[in-house]
Structure 1
Amino acid sequence: MTPISTIDLSLWRAGGESAANVAREVDEGLQRAGFLLVREHGVPRELVADVRAAARKFFALPEEVKAQYSTIVGGRGWIPPGMEADGYAEGTETPPDLKESFTAGPETPVGDPVVDDVWFGPNVWPAEVVELRVLLTAYTEAVRKLSNELLALLSTALGLPGNYFEGCTDRPTWMFKLNHYPPLATVGEPESGQFRIGPHTDFGTVTVLDREPGEGGLQVYTEEGGWEDAPYDPEALTVNIGDLLEYWSGRRWPSGRHRVLPPQAGAPEEDLVSLIFFYELNHDARVTPLAPPIGTVAGLEPVISADFIKSRLDKITM
């Protein structure tokens, strides 16, 4: 048994009692683990395969070539190994994560240079993998559409009228990450307490993950079961909520705590690529936590989305 529920979005779209049952299962599942498996999500599998193939092509480039596109954590482009330690977000001091990443984000400037430089700057596209730009543009459009649908579902699951979150996502901030987890021969023997991604929670509203299964793969933490391997369904996307939505829900739903194990001795050649879409809100969205009886904690102060996210990004930068 797993604490992570599997939901079928086609039943949600059908309306009526079917949709009500899905919303109820979402609420119960997120209270348990902050994670869901989502089927009938509408993201084309062939697009996913093409994105992953292009990602592998980029990550296989020589380091000096990738270095032309290097950036800092939270920026656009290649984040080399050793730059990020996600465990620091929750105060766990770990060695750097055993991964490299390629990131992209929205190019929808608001006209304020201070805001645009941080949240809406230009993406960086490698000339050596020209197809990456078209593929990632198509993929992020599809997953953003899905994320908006998920927020509508979450609004219903909270018993709120209409789509409570809709007015906060007309020009949202988000980040898309291709994470590459190299094999043991590439990264060497992990240090004590070192992971492909250290234990952490995500920062925004919903995270949509397309992952490859592996022995050095995703684990999810719950109060009841501790650390457990996350269930894998090739037809489903893995979805978890982040700190901002936990806060907005008045702590009703815990932000899904998770980690990615280091390469395992039993699978030294394992080489994985994950596609991760971190969704947030408009940079200036004011989030007022839901009070009891929907929320479980009273008296939480309002926050501004961009300030909330930036404070967490700063913690994980090495």
Structure 2
Amino acid sequence: MTETAGPPASPVPTVDLARWRAGGPGTRRETAAAVDAALCATGFLLVTGHGIDADLRDRVRATARTFFALPAAEKQPYATEVGGRGWLGPGAEANGAAEGTATPPDMKESLSFASEEPTGNPAVDAEWFLPNIWPHQVPALRTDVQDLLAALRALSDLLLTLLAEALGAGPDHFTRHTAHPTWGFNINWYPGTRTVGEAAPGQYRIGPHTDFGTVTVLDRQRGKGGLQIWTDPADGGTGWQDAPYVPGSLTVNAGDLLARWTGGRWRSGRHRVLPPPSDAPAEELMSLVYFYECDPGTRVGTLADSHTYLRGQLAAINAQGTT
């Protein structure tokens, strides 16, 4: 009897952080090896046992949805540009530009937050640690987002500790540079075709790109117009493919700083978010995305200053005024 081959194993493993934390040396080595292999191949992981409360994430989504449903005139006072704090409206961002691709603006809206606790250095604080903006129409958002941000920062440092182990380095190899880090947090709303119209050629909910920081932690919803990741055919990959989805898990990807920090051993995970699907034009998704970075001025690989690089990449994807 000829056996039918099953689907190929996903290049994106699911890592149980609770098991890794509680495990003995063998379990930890096994987990570290799986993480290293995944970041070498795709730059992506799924994590379970992360401890981020599902009800909290649901509340953030529900409250943000109330804001996004407001008329544009009520959202306009909170309008900002990429890298700022507030509302990124239609046409504000074009992520494909970060990799040098001329692309139409992304088909999304975002509520954008960032690091705000001052360092005491006036120049650094004026650029990277400004107060966040909280829409008065949704007062519950502030408490829930702040609770979520505290949990996401703790998780990101835990992930960097695991990644140091995967690299064979000391546990604080990365986290000694996150005493007062910068970070960004986006609540991305991907509405259906009725709101955003039909996609133009080369237009996506988010265009192809890599993230800019150390690790990105993503809480996403399953959808036809959802996340895709890139595996390079030159290395045996298949090009674009739907990202694996495990209910309750979080998606983690390496960013540009982490790739540079490891001398290119680990890939910065290239990805995109598909436009609203033609067979489900009303599909609406919302993602919670935490971009973790490092302390301002950190030397990363050949970069003398991590944040000069970050500022340049943020400026590249700013599509404000181009539509």
> Tell me, what secondary structure is at the counterpart of 1:286?
coil
> Tell me, what secondary structure is at the counterpart of 1:204?
coil
Unaligned regions of 5+ residues in structure 2, if any?
1-7
> Tell me, what secondary structure is at the counterpart of 1:152?
helix
User: Are the counterparts in 2 of residues 72 and 83 from structure 1 also a CA contact under 8 Å?
Assistant: yes
| Alpha-carbon offset, residue 311 of structure 1 | 1.2
User: Are the counterparts in 1 of residues 19 and 49 from structure 2 also a CA contact under 8 Å?
Assistant: no
TM-superposition CA deviations, 1:156-183 (whole Å, max 9, x none): 0000123211211010000000000010
- Please list, as runs of the form range in 1=range in 2, the aligned pairs for 1:128-147 lying within 5 A after superposition: 128-147=137-156
- Please list, as runs of the form range in 1=range in 2, the aligned pairs for 1:28-43 lying within 5 A after superposition: 28-43=37-52
2:120 corresponds to which of 96, 111, 124? 111
Structure 2 counterpart of 1:7: 15
- Please list, as runs of the form range in 1=range in 2, the aligned pairs for 1:1-318 lying within 5 A after superposition: 1=8, 2-15=10-23, 16-223=25-232, 224-287=237-300, 289=301, 301-318=302-319
Distance 2:93 2:170 in 1: 40
User: Are the counterparts in 2 of residues 179 and 275 from structure 1 also a CA contact under 8 Å?
Assistant: yes
Distance 2:125 2:94 in 1: 26
Distance 2:57 2:170 in 1: 34
Distance 1:68 1:12 in 2: 45
Letter in 1 for 2:151: A
Distance 2:313 2:40 in 1: 23
Letter in 2 for 1:66: K
> Tell me, what secondary structure is at the counterpart of 1:179?
strand
Distance 1:173 1:3 in 2: 30
Stretch moving more, 110-119 or 92-101: 110-119
| Alpha-carbon offset, residue 111 of structure 1 | 2.5
Letter in 2 for 1:152: T
Distance 1:235 1:43 in 2: 9
User: Are the counterparts in 2 of residues 156 and 163 from structure 1 also a CA contact under 8 Å?
Assistant: no
Q: TM-score, normalised by structure 1?
A: 0.94
Count of residue pairs the alignment pairs up: 306
TM-superposition CA deviations, 1:7-33 (whole Å, max 9, x none): 111121024211111011000011110
TM-superposition CA deviations, 1:248-277 (whole Å, max 9, x none): 010000100000000011111101110000
Q: CA RMSD in A?
A: 0.9
Distance 1:162 1:205 in 2: 16
Unaligned regions of 5+ residues in structure 1, if any?
290-300
Letter in 2 for 1:275: L
| Alpha-carbon offset, residue 303 of structure 1 | 2.6
Letter in 1 for 2:173: Y
| Alpha-carbon offset, residue 49 of structure 1 | 0.6
Distance 2:40 2:13 in 1: 11
> Tell me, what secondary structure is at the counterpart of 1:144?
helix
Letter in 2 for 1:270: E
User: Are the counterparts in 1 of residues 221 and 286 from structure 2 also a CA contact under 8 Å?
Assistant: yes
| Alpha-carbon offset, residue 280 of structure 1 | 0.1
> Tell me, what secondary structure is at the counterpart of 2:75?
helix
Distance 1:204 1:70 in 2: 24
Percent identity between matched residues is 52
User: Are the counterparts in 2 of residues 173 and 283 from structure 1 also a CA contact under 8 Å?
Assistant: yes
Stretch moving more, 149-158 or 114-123: 114-123
